[in-house]
Structure 1
């Protein structure tokens, strides 16, 4: 099982998360209301948190402890999300270019993009 899948599995109850993070139940529910975390719910409507949720709560707690207000915390999380999206987009572009290059090598031709980009080299 991949590490990211394991980290996203909802396993922890709110009482365990409270002990791990040293946050109150009210604080955890507030961060959920603010959209920072989205814990899974059991059939009995109990919250179940993943390790990713706990990491986010630790990040928020650290920022708040450093005297950041919630508006600043939101901005920081938005910038992180944008940066992560840009990294994913760049990785997808690199993967596409690599696959196209390998395909062109197999066919013993140049790729269309390689021809377009060659004028810049």
Structure 2
């Protein structure tokens, strides 16, 4: 892990400043933690301590919800993103122009987000409607 990645993952912020930075309530933040969308560290006094990565993730959750994606859809997007990160080191470099699973997932995520943002059907919406409110 590079120095930048280590710094971004250091738990530095209590919930108060995180609420101000994200414009989320403490209840919303705890709810996302209950649903395992975020996992803040705990201080010795058992207070939640958030890293810059946690704050980025909360802002991403907020943006996705504003676009109409529900928690099930967000969990699926995060799962796919985590799988892509884990598989990136193991995947051989592709030399032909066949779409990789990663490219397909990015395309589907883009369509999900676009369909939610503009409130119109995408070519795959019939398969992803369960992710929208």
Q: TM-score, normalised by structure 2?
A: 0.65
Structure with higher RCO (Cα < 8 A, 6+ apart): 2
Number of equivalences: 92
Structure 2 alignment gaps of length 5 or more: 94-133
5 Å-filtered alignment, 1:29-108, equals: 29-90=30-91
- The answer to which structure has the higher helix fraction is 1
Deviation at 1:18, TM superposition (A): 0.2
Larger Rg: 1
Q: What is the CA–CA distance in structure 2 between the aligned matches of 1:88 and 1:13, rounded to whole Å?
A: 33
4+ runs deviating over 2 angstroms: none
Structure 1 alignment gaps of length 5 or more: 95-121
Match of 1:3 in 2: 4
Deviation at 1:89, TM superposition (A): 1.8
Q: TM-score, normalised by structure 1?
A: 0.72
CA RMSD of aligned residues (A): 1.4
